[in-house]
């Protein structure tokens, strides 16, 4: 806890803010990749104290938001029709599928359980040998090792009733896709500290080289984010484009190599559909052939119709930093947390939820 | 605090214990009546007849908590304290409670007994008498071990004038103790989210403290509220909405236990939205605020009492929080239960 108060020290934060103001001479647009950072920015009121010519764009790093609609429908199908014990991280539950959310399915009697760790789902499978247990394994590189580990645990225990419904996405290909988008106005990135604690930051060298943009690995506390912004602006003002590491207390260049080993043992890279954004080449992880027995998609031969996305939702533009949540005509009106049009309104890392929950009124945005 | 369990024929609750017949009678006689005895309950009548004069406060609450036993308490204690505190929040002196059980077939007699013992001690501590009640048993699978309803009556404190209408801009908002402790204690033992901690629920009666404050300050106390479900955020949003005034909080003044704060960080929960049981909020005239805090500090259960913000005449209906960095954000009305995040 000492670390929490340290990285929230208001006096230090004011100093860093002052430093940012001192070095900023031009308008810059900086994207924080991770939804956790978006929430920290809004929740701590950082957007209200940053210099006016620094614009923060909120990136696609909300695992819940980019999980395809079709996959949510599949999870609901497994819970309702196949009567599996469907285990999920908490913030997947309110995300709207094409007809309902997992929370509504639960209210209708489906066995949907909220877990904090995927390995707990393996315990549930062990305790319920007569039931099928499916873990809804979504996330970025951060959750991939734990999800992969659950498969290895199930294998070790010889469990035949455990599988995962998988939707894993990767950050570096998303950065490429964002930079290739003709509408992109991004000048620099705050890379997601937790992702980098697993993967390191060696993956970002080719990106700064190719797109001439600074990428600063950044943590989640107010001081982390302010320092990340400072380091990015400094590079931009000095005309540099390098990989920098603000989150050195957690992140090493090579990352956590044993976690990477587990990911590589269980998963392989594949093209991946990102909800609201589209398919990005080589931007996802799928189970390797050796572990396909743990793939819920194959196990249950799920064949349900692909429902169209809600055309009213501009989640894609928001996650690409092209639009702000309050620029959506439905924000806070037709779309709200009780009746969301898209996932960013209900995910704990969604940009729309951050603006709705913490700064509903534009004057303090 | 323990009472030996009397010899009851069955080890578990059966449907027959709710039938109204011999087993119901035995359960009541050797269990409930004996343990909770007082002159009203001893009459074994269909209802209680009470002597009440003047204005009274009247409140009811149902308790369906899972798990039934949790770190720092159980459903029995909670059921007494919950209604006692609702009456106390009205500015009244809690006096009489009703107590109704819906038991699930198969509940162990020992667990039921332990809950009854908790009820006995909680009632004694808060100075209320249980004067009437009911017991029903439902089929296995139709309940969650035990549901309890309590309804309470209390005489209004002669100096109390608790009303939203009395709140004005400038009034100070006080919390009596560290927030979010109960919610996190419960979560730490929920299946799938278990984590090792020594955090215990703070369930307790609050009437000693509220009555002392009313004795001292009378109508300068504008409002009492206990921020149970939905936490401090929901309660303050209700107050701001119903009083049509704004509320500004100071983040640095809101007391949260270090372990609770850490658990909230890990799980992605906000202490402001997390449930409390042993904490109340008071909105008081500015001139007495510091004295209210000093008096609360004399109670063991209110060591962390603090002024956390004030009522303002702007952004009516809205709760804002200021952090020490100068940043500001809206504290929104919670939508539903908080859900732990992915990473």
Determine, for residues B335 and A46 on separate chains, whether the beta-carbon distance falls below 8 Å. Answer: no
Q: Which residues of B touch A (CB under 8 A)?
A: 191-193, 195, 252, 258, 261-262, 265, 267-268, 315, 318, 320, 322-330, 332, 335-336, 339-343
Give pLDDT tens digits for A250-281.
999 999 999 999 999 999 999 999 998 999 99
CB distance B329–A43 less than 8 Å? yes
Query: Residue A67 falls within a domain, yes or no?
Result: yes
Structure token digits, residue B263: 């658990």
What is the pLDDT confidence band of residue A3, given thresholds at 50, 70 and 90? low
Per-residue pLDDT of chain B (343 residues; tens, 9 = 90+): 567 777 777 788 888 888 877 777 777 777 788 888 888 888 888 899 998 889 999 999 999 998 999 999 999 999 999 999 999 999 999 999 999 999 999 999 999 999 999 999 999 999 999 999 999 999 999 999 999 999 999 999 999 999 999 999 999 999 999 999 999 999 888 766 777 778 899 999 999 999 999 999 999 999 999 999 899 999 999 999 999 999 999 999 999 999 999 888 888 889 999 999 999 999 999 999 999 999 999 999 999 999 999 999 999 999 999 987 778 888 988 877 777 776 6
A255 and A322 both lie in a single domain: no
Query: CA B319 to CA B329: how far, in whole Å?
Result: 9
Q: Flag whether A64 is in a domain.
A: yes
Mean pLDDT computed over A342-358: 88
Mean pLDDT (chain A) is 93
Considering A277, A294, A310, which residue would you say is the last residue of a domain?
A310
Give chain A positions within 8 Å (CB) of B66: none
A73: which residues sit within 8 A by CB, 6+ positions away?
A: A97, A98, A99, A304, A307
Residues 6 or more apart from B51 whose CB is under 8 A from it? none
* Co-location of A285 and A322 in the same domain: no
Within this chain, do residues A227 and A345 fall inside the same structural domain, yes or no?
Answer: no
Instruction: Kindly report the backbone phi and psi dihedral angles of residue A277, in degrees, each rounded to the nearest multiple of 5, phi listed first.
Output: -115, -40
Same domain, A40 and A176: yes
Residues 6+ apart with CB under 8 A from B165: B243
- Give the position of tokens 């332990």: B114
Residue of higher predicted confidence among A43 and B305: B305
* Confidence at residue A362, expressed as pLDDT on a 0 to 100 scale: 45
Please name every residue paired with A56 in a beta bridge, in sequence order, or none if there are none: A30
Inside any domain, residue A13: no
Q: How far is CA A118 from CA A61, A123, B341, in A?
A: 20, 9, 13
Together in a domain, A94 and A196? yes
- For the record, the structure tokens of A96 come out as 């709207």
CB contacts of B328 in chain A (<8 Å) are 45, 48, 364
Test the B interface: residue of A6, A88, A221, A348 with most B CBs within 10 Å: A348
C-alpha pair distances (Å), B300 with each of B176, B275, B289: 11, 21, 19
CATH at residue A119:
3.40.50.11740
Check residue A365 and give its pLDDT: 39
- First vs last Cα of chain B: how many Å apart? 42
Q: Categorize the per-residue pLDDT at A360 as very low, low, confident or very high, splitting at 50, 70 and 90.
A: low
How many independent structural domains does chain A possess? 2
Element (H, E) at B306: strand B306-312
Q: By CA distance, what is A15's nearest residue in B?
A: B325
> Cβ atoms within 10 A of the Cβ of A55, count?
17
Dist. CA A213–CA A180, nearest whole Å? 13
Six token digits for residue A181: 């988008």
Same domain? A40 vs A140: yes
Considering the domain boundaries, does residue A353 fall inside one?
yes
Among B325, B327, B339, whose Cβ lies nearest the Cβ of A114?
B339
Give the tokens for residue B24.
């119901």
For residue B193, list chain A residues with Cβ-Cβ distance below 8 A: 114-116
Percent of chain A clearing pLDDT 90 (strictly above): 82
d(CA B285, CA B173): 9
User: Do both A52 and A132 map to the same domain?
Assistant: yes
CA distance A325 to A336: 11
- Which pLDDT score is estimated for A363? 43
Q: Where are the alpha helices (DSSP H) in chain A?
A: 2-6, 10-23, 35-43, 46-49, 63-66, 69-80, 102-107, 118-127, 144-156, 171-180, 193-199, 205-211, 222-237, 257-266, 296-299, 315-319, 351-358
The domain boundary, picked from A310, A327, A346, lies at A310
Q: At a CB cut-off of 8 Å and minimum separation 6, what does A271 contact?
A: A279, A280, A281, A282, A283, A284
Task: Establish if A139 belongs to a structural domain.
Answer: yes
Specify the pLDDT at position B1.
58
CA distance A350 to chain B (A): 11
Question: How close is the nearest chain B Cα to the Cα of A159, in Å?
Answer: 19
Q: Quick one: tokens of A300? A: 């249950």
Does residue A73 form part of some domain?
A: yes
A170 and A300 co-located in one domain: yes
Range of the domain at A335: 315-358
Q: Does some domain include residue A354?
A: yes
Q: Clarify whether residues A352 and A263 are in a common domain.
A: no
Closest by Cβ to B323, choosing from A45, A89, A103: A45
| One domain for residues A346 and A244 | no
Out of A48, A89, A338, closest to residue B335 by CB? A338
Which chain A residues contact residue B197 at CB under 8 A? Answer: none
Same domain, A233 and A350: no
User: Are A303 and A320 found together in one domain?
Assistant: no
Polymer length in residues for chain B:
343
All structural domains of chain B, each given as residue ranges with its CATH number in brackets, are: 15-156 (3.30.1330.10), 164-330 (3.90.650.10)
Query: Are B319 and B249 in contact, with CB atoms under 8 Å apart?
Result: yes
Model confidence at A1: pLDDT above 80:
no
Helix (H, G, I), strand (E, B) or coil at B284: strand
CA distance A235 to A227: 12
Residues 6+ apart with CB under 8 A from A186: A29, A30, A31, A57, A178, A179, A213, A321
**Within a domain: residue A10?**
no
Give me the residues paired with residue A163 across strands. A134
- Residue B107's CB is within 10 A of a number of other CB atoms, namely 22
* Cross-chain CB nearest to A90 (options B323, B329, B339): B339
- Whether B328 sits inside 8 A of A48 (CB atoms) is yes
A46·B340 Cβ contact <8 A:
no
B5 or A327, greater pLDDT: A327
Q: Is the ipTM of this complex over 0.85?
A: no
Under 8 Å between Cβ of B320 and B246: yes
Q: How far is A357 from chain B (nearest CA, A)?
A: 5
What is d(CA B152, CA B82) in angstroms, rounded to the nearest whole number?
A: 10
């Amino acid at each position: 806890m000492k670390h929490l108060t340290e990285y929230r020290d208001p006096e230090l934060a004011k100093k860093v803010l002052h430093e940012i103001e001192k070095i900023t001479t031009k308008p810059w647009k900086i994207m924080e990749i991770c939804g956790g950072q978006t929430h920290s920015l809004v929740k701590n009121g950082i957007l209200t104290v940053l210099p006016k010519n620094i614009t923060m764009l909120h990136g696609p790093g909300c695992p819940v938001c980019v999980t395809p609609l079709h996959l949510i429908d599949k999870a609901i199908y497994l819970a309702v029709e196949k009567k599996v014990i469907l285990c999920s991280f908490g913030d997947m539950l309110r995300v709207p599928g094409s007809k309902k959310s997992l929370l509504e399915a639960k209210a209708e009697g489906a066995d949907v359980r909220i877990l904090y760790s995927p390995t707990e789902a393996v315990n549930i499978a062990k305790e319920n040998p007569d039931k099928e247990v499916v873990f809804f394994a979504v996330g970025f590189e951060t959750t991939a090792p734990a999800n992969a580990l659950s498969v290895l645990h199930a294998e070790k225990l010889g469990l035949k009733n455990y599988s995962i419904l998988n939707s894993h996405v990767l950050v570096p290909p998303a950065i490429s896709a964002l930079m290739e988008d003709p509408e992109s106005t991004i000048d620099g990135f705050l890379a997601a500290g937790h992702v980098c604690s697993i993967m390191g930051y060696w993956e970002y060298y080719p990106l700064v080289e190719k797109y001439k943009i600074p990428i600063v690995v950044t943590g989640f506390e107010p001081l982390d984010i302010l320092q990340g912004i400072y380091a990015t602006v400094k590079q931009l003002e000095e005309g540099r484009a390098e990989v920098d590491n603000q989150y050195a207390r957690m992140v090493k260049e090579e990352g956590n190599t044993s976690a990477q080993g587990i990911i590589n043992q269980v998963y392989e890279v594949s093209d991946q559909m990102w909800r609201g954004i589209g398919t990005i080449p080589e931007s996802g992880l799928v189970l390797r052939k050796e572990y396909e027995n743990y793939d819920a998609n194959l196990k249950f031969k799920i064949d349900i119709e692909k429902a169209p996305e809600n055309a009213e939702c501009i989640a894609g533009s928001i996650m690409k930093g092209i639009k702000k949540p309050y620029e959506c005509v439905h924000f806070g009106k037709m779309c709200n947390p009780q009746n969301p049009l898209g996932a960013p309104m209900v995910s704990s890392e969604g940009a729309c939820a951050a603006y709705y929950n913490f700064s509903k009124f534009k004057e303090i945005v | 605090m323990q009472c030996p369990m009397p010899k009851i024929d069955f080890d578990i609750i059966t449907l027959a214990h709710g039938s109204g017949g011999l087993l119901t009678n035995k359960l009541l006689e050797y269990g409930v009546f004996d343990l909770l005895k007082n002159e009203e309950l001893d009459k074994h009548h269909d209802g209680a007849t009470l002597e009440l004069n003047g204005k009274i406060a009247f409140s009811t609450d149902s308790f369906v908590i899972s798990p039934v036993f949790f770190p720092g308490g159980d459903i029995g204690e909670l059921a007494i304290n919950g209604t006692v505190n609702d009456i106390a929040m009205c500015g009244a002196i809690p006096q009489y409670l009703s107590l109704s059980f819906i038991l699930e077939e198969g509940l162990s007699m020992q667990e039921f007994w332990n809950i009854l013992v908790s009820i006995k001690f909680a009632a004694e501590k808060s100075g209320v008498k249980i004067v009437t009640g009911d017991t029903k048993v439902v089929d296995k699978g139709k309940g969650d071990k035990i549901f309890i309803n309590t309804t309470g009556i209390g005489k209004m404190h002669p100096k109390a004038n608790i009303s939203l209408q009395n709140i004005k801009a400038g009034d100070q908002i006080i919390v009596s103790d560290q927030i979010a402790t109960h919610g996190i204690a419960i979560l730490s033992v929920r299946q799938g989210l278990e984590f090792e901690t020594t955090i215990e629920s703070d369930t307790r009666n609050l009437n000693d403290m509220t009555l002392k404050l009313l004795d001292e300050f009378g109508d300068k106390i504008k409002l009492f509220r206990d921020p149970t479900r939905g936490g401090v955020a929901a309660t303050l949003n209700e107050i701001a909405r119903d009083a049509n005034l704004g509320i500004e909080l100071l983040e640095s003044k809101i007391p949260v236990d270090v372990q609770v704060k850490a658990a909230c960080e890990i799980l992605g929960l906000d202490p402001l939205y997390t449930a409390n049981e042993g904490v109340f909020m008071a909105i008081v005239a500015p001139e007495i605020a510091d004295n209210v805090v000093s008096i609360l500090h004399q109670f063991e259960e209110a060591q962390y009492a603090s002024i956390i913000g004030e009522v303002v005449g702007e952004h009516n209906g809205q709760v804002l929080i200021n952090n020490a960095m100068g940043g500001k954000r809206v504290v929104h009305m919670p939508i539903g239960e908080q859900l732990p995040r992915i990473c």
